[in-house]
Each structure stands twice: as C-alpha cells, then as structure tokens.
Structure 1
Amino acid sequence: MSTVSAFIGLGANLGDARATVEAALEELGALPGTRVAERSSLFRSAPVDAGGDDYVNAVARIETMLPAADLLAALMSIEQSHGRERTGYNAPRTLDLDLLLYGRQQIATDTLTVPHPRMTQRAFVLIPLLQIAPLIEIPGMGPAHGFVPDVAGQAISVLRS
C-alpha cells in the first residue's frame, strides 16, 4: 500500500493535558508504517457545548501506510492507553484523537466519517490545521480557511512554553 497523508486532531483537558498531548504526538509517530510529518503548536481552547477545564489541542499531519479503519483502531488504542473513558457526549477527557482527513477520501461507515463531521465548526481544529496546511481543501466542502469566520467567536490561543 502507498503512503497516505492524514490529519489527526488531538485534545485533552483532564490531568496533565499538555504532557498527554505531547506523548500522543510521539505515539502517533510510533504506529506501524507511520511518521509525523508536521505538527501544529499547542493551543488552549474553552470546551464547546460542555463544561470543564480548558483543552490543550493540536493537529498533526501524518504519513501512514495504515488503512483508514486500522488507523482509527490505532487512535482508539492510544486513547485507551491514556485512560480515555467515554462517559458522554463532549465529556471531559484524558485524550481525544480524531481522524480529521485521510488523503482526499470521503468515508462514511458505521464507525468512521471522514472528513470529520464537525471539523469545520471548531476553532480548535481549524486554527491548528491551517497553521500547518494553510491552503488545505476539505474534500467535498472546499477550502478550510473559508470556515474560519464561522468559528471566530470561539476562544483559542497558542500555549507558550
């Protein structure tokens, strides 16, 4: 199989969220046939449609030979290794990994939808994505930068060291 460029959204707001996101970025690069090609800065964002502490977010572009379903399974395994519990919609979490884009593919199965269905509605996805891929097009939707005005009211800032 050839290599596919995929984008992964990372977020955490429980425990040492910054350290968890950094560790997850390393773990992405350790997946079989996968390397992290680019990563955004770490961002701080307020929860959307939920309470709890602010999130630490990032987006990574990976080059992978894993099929999309296998990549999703690997992402869920990384989440589990960090104690992820699925207690409810938008609940606080130790780690959230989302497969945002998988090449130029549009995928709709019972377990996976790509492009990620809410990626254009979230500043914590769009801003880090555009930092590393400013001209990226979302398959079936158009240029990602066209959705920025829709999320302008969502608070997000770069985390400083």
Structure 2
Amino acid sequence: MAIQSGGSEVAAISLGSNQGHSLAILQGVVADLAATPASTLLACSRWYLTAPIGPPQPDYWNGCVLLSTALDPEVLLQRLWDLEHSYGRQRSERWGPRTLDLDLIFLGQQRWETPRLWLPHPRFRERGFVLVPLAEIAPDWIDPVSGYTVAQLLTQVDTTGVRPADIPHAPSATGIAQ
C-alpha cells in the first residue's frame, strides 16, 4: 500500500446500502474501515434513512465516517472499491439499488481530478444524505472548492428526505455506541 510521506490526513467516507441486511452491512464495513492499514477510525455518524434517487427501490441507510489515513488517495479509493465488492456490490444500473456504496468525500484539503477520482467529491455539496451525517462529525471542515464549511453547505440543501434511523445503540459522533 502506498503511504503518503507527509503523514496522515483526515478522510470523510460516505456509506450507503439498500439491499440485503443494510444495517449489518454498514456496521461490518465500519469495522473493516477501522482495520484499514495505516489508518485510524476517528468518528462515525448516526445512521439515517433516505429516499432513493433513481428507479423505485427501498430507502437507503446512510452515514459517514472520518478516517485518519496515511494512504495515497488512489489506494484508499481502491480499498473502498474492494470493500464494496466483498459485500456483493454490482456496478450495473446507475442510481440502482446496491448492497454497499462507499464514496470518498474528501481527504484533508486535497484536490484531485483524475478519471478515477475527484476530490472533494464533485456532487457532495448537493446531497442531503451525505451532508446531514457529515455535519454531525465534521461540521467545520472547509470545502476547498466553495470555501464553505460542511455546516454552511448543509443549510443550502433540501434534507426533508433524510431522517434518523430509529435503532438502539446507534454510533455516536465518536464512533462509540450509546
């Protein structure tokens, strides 16, 4: 695995699932992310239920995690794709149902534009299902593109379709079950 020479940076990762046992899948992938080499899990948002985008399908379970990592952005992205694959993700229908969807939202203040990876994620600013959980764990992160904090971006999107999941022992912003 490629390690950055400058030390660790904080990555925000958006998690989603609406096929299979979504809650168990998301809880499992949080543990898998915590076991990522050269990385430390810093925080995990609560879980949210979100109306899907695209064709008729079940609601999504969504959340975000913060990971301190020394991995190169492309290596971290590959780790996310490998985890998606291990949980049965099939890349067929755009905006279709999926067992697991992991998106790298930001990595510190890095800006990348390659065919495989854009940082920060190009559409996170318009997605309530990303901004609501992200604002729980990183409200003061400043988007290097817009200059706004996550909390400020959250005020600019419709979040009516994003509601907290009513589950016992949801993770707190520190990642510790309450």
TM-score, with length taken from structure 2: 0.86
Structure 1 position 116 matched with structure 2 position 121 = yes
TM-superposed deviation, 1:35: 1.3
**Partner Cα distance (2:144, 2:60) in 1:** 27
Instruction: Mark the runs of 5 or more structure 2 residues left unpaired by the alignment.
Output: 168-178
Q: Note the C-alpha offset of 1:89.
A: 1.2
**Structure 1 stretches lacking a partner, 5+ long:** none
Q: Judge conservation of contact 2:139–2:149 (CA < 8 Å) in 1.
A: no
Q: Distance in 2 between matches of 1:49 and 1:88?
A: 10
Q: CA RMSD in A?
A: 1.2
Higher helix fraction: Structure 1 or Structure 2?
1
Alignment of 1:30-109 (within 5 A): 30-109=35-114
For residue 148 of structure 1, report the CA deviation from its aligned partner: 2.4
Q: Deviations over 1:89-119 (max 9, x none)?
A: 1111000000000110111001000111110
Alignment of 1:131 onto 2:136: yes
| Partner deviation per Cα, 1:34-86 (whole Å, 9 max, x = no partner) | 11100100111011233200000110000011100000000000000000000
Report the count of equivalent residues.
Answer: 161
1:36 aligned partner, one-letter code: L
Q: After TM superposition, what 4+ stretches of structure 1 lie above 6 angstroms from structure 2?
A: none
